[in-house]
Amino acid sequence: MAQWEYRVAYVDFRGRVSIEGQEILMEKDERRSAFVRTVLDHLGNDGWELAGVHPLWPAETSYMIFKRPAEGKSATTSDEQKQQEPGEQATDGTGQESAAGEPTRAISGESTEMV
């Protein structure tokens, strides 16, 4: 089964995008459509594909969900999940802690829990 990694962007179409802690602001006199297209192009160049849009209230904001194939990352097995204590930092399979902005624990295919 294909492994994916995801990135979520909060988009305020009045001129701000927040992608996992990184803030991007619209330039003065820049058109909204050009601003959002620039952000989309940047993510697309990094291999991210727009997978979904979740509109929020107020009407000029939304979450954009992006995905791309995981590069060399293996999913944490159910046995490894069971051994992990609550609040314990997840590792990337090499014993290293997950990078900032990455989920701190693995989610099994059957889980509906959000990280």
Mean pLDDT, range 84-100, rounded to an integer:
46
Q: Supply 79's token pair.
A: 């046995």
User: Per residue in 35-83, pLDDT tens?
Assistant: 999 999 999 999 999 999 999 987 789 999 999 999 876 544 444 444 4
- Kindly report the pTM of this predicted structure: 0.59
DSSP-assigned states of every residue in 45-97: HTT-EEEEEEEETTTTEEEEEEEEE-SSPPPPPHHHHHHSPTTPPPB-SSSPB
Domain spans in the chain, listed from the N-terminal domain onward: 4-69, 77-115
